Amino acid sequence: MPELPEVETVRRSLELHLAGRTITGVEGEAVKLRRPLDPKSLARILVGRRLEAFRRRGKFLLVDLEPEGTILVHLGMSGRLQIAQPSEPRLPHNHLVLLLDDGRELRYADTRRFGLVDWLAPGAEAMDSSLSKLGVEPLDPHIAEILPSLLHARRAPVKALLMDQRLIAGVGNIYAAEALWRARIRPTRAGNRTSLNRLTNLAVAVRGVLTEAVAQGGTTLRDYATPEGGYGYFALELKVYGRQGEPCPSCGSTLRAGVIAGRTTAWCPICQR
């Protein structure tokens, strides 16, 4: 599933290539994603509006339009946004296409249909059922001051807490595992049994790994690609994610694996305690 670095990479790409473009048409098929997608209804709203600004909140992409309103996008597990020429073949499961005034198309494809594309009227963002529940932004410069007390107040495993979008928005399985390895904290350790000093180190590690991943364009493991068709190269920097059974890059011990909050996670039994 695309996490914060992948969504931020997509946001930057769209901002670079599409800011100021006007929507001239909408094509697609009515399909049930995380929320029902109705291209005909979207066409009545979107045609003639300009792509004004591109924002991110956690794993959500927000496209602000002029006149007012916002397109809300979530990539789910396999969703992809693609900037393409009309002559280029469309991806399988291409559910929505925005036609633009320069002749290009912005396409949304989602094989597994866990994502969403929705319209937010002016003022609706603050009340949206997904956005209103999101926690702190991990790239906040003050995250090391904010996050430790949130984690320390809870009994759940710290790995599960990092992936709880109500506490911290945008972190998923990949970057939680990597940050915990950097902070030398066992993923199964309870939040309330981890010292505030160690949780401060974890907050710094979370921000650091996310920042580095954004600089590398995210992590491509299966479906993820940038709107231009590029890939994320942070996969080359992963130390523990998906590497169970391999030697720890730090001490050489065999990395272990377990399931936390429904997700497989790897860790070092020596370095992470």
CA distance linking residue 252 with residue 265, whole number of Å: 18
Is 178 considered catalytic here?
no
CA distance linking residue 181 with residue 173, whole number of Å: 12
- 229, amino acid identity: G
CA distance linking residue 251 with residue 271, whole number of Å: 7
CA distance linking residue 69 with residue 72, whole number of Å: 10
Is 39 considered catalytic here?
no
Is 263 considered catalytic here?
yes
Among the listed residues 59, 107, 198, 239, the single catalytic one is 59
Give bridge partners of residue 56 from the DSSP assignment. Answer: 61
Is 40 considered catalytic here?
no
- Give the distance from CA 93 to its chain's centroid: 20
Give phi and psi for 62, each to the nearest 5: -125, 125
Residue 157: DSSP 8-state:
B
Residue 155 tokens, joined? 């009994």
Q: What positions carry a catalytic annotation?
A: 2-3, 59, 263
